[in-house]
Amino acid sequence: MAPLDSLRRVLRRSSDRHNPPAEEVLALFERLSRIAVVGISRDPAKAARRVPSYLAAQGFDIYPVNPRAERILGRPAVPSLDQVADPVDLVLVFRPSKEAGSVVREAMALPGAPAIWLQEGIRADAEAAEARGAGRVVIQDLCSYKAHRALFT
């Protein structure tokens, strides 16, 4: 199966029909280098740690955002998104839906207009619509690991 067709299958599993098309997700991955991960876990068994580990292994620079950690994946962790020192291309969110909206708003305030990705099972519809209305790429309820693997393996 062609990579874009594989990604289309993954995209169909998301409950958000406003996610960008496969071609735009591919373009996003191709231009990414720096990813802030909000809610990255200290526990290697959790998806909130396995997915960022996978992305780091694929060559992406991971910026851990976790107020209860000092270092994750060999990098210093910061307690909040606004304390990430470098500009990022993507804000990847591993927080419950009830907290995700505030993270989307914080991401919208970052310089460089990073894309915003809410992992599988996470949605913040009002804030996602607001961000999309402001021209941001927003993906909801989709696993970035599954999307990347569909395209690149």
pLDDT tens-digit readout, 16-31 = 999 999 999 999 999 9
How many CA within 13 A on the CB side of residue 67? 4
Helix (H) or strand (E) holding 72: strand 71-72
The pTM for the full model equals 0.97
The pLDDT value recorded for residue 62 is 98
Which residues, other chains included, contact 105 with Cβ-Cβ below 8 Å and sequence gap of 6+? 127, 130
The pLDDT value recorded for residue 116 is 98
Residue 38 has pLDDT above 80, yes or no: yes
Q: Which domains does the chain show, CATH number per domain?
A: 3-152 (3.40.50.720)
The pLDDT value recorded for residue 153 is 86
The pLDDT value recorded for residue 110 is 96
Q: Using one digit for the tens of pLDDT, what is the confidence trace for 45-99?
A: 999 999 999 999 999 999 999 999 999 999 999 999 999 999 999 999 999 999 9
Q: Using one digit for the tens of pLDDT, what is the confidence trace for 100-137?
A: 999 999 999 999 999 999 999 999 999 999 999 999 99
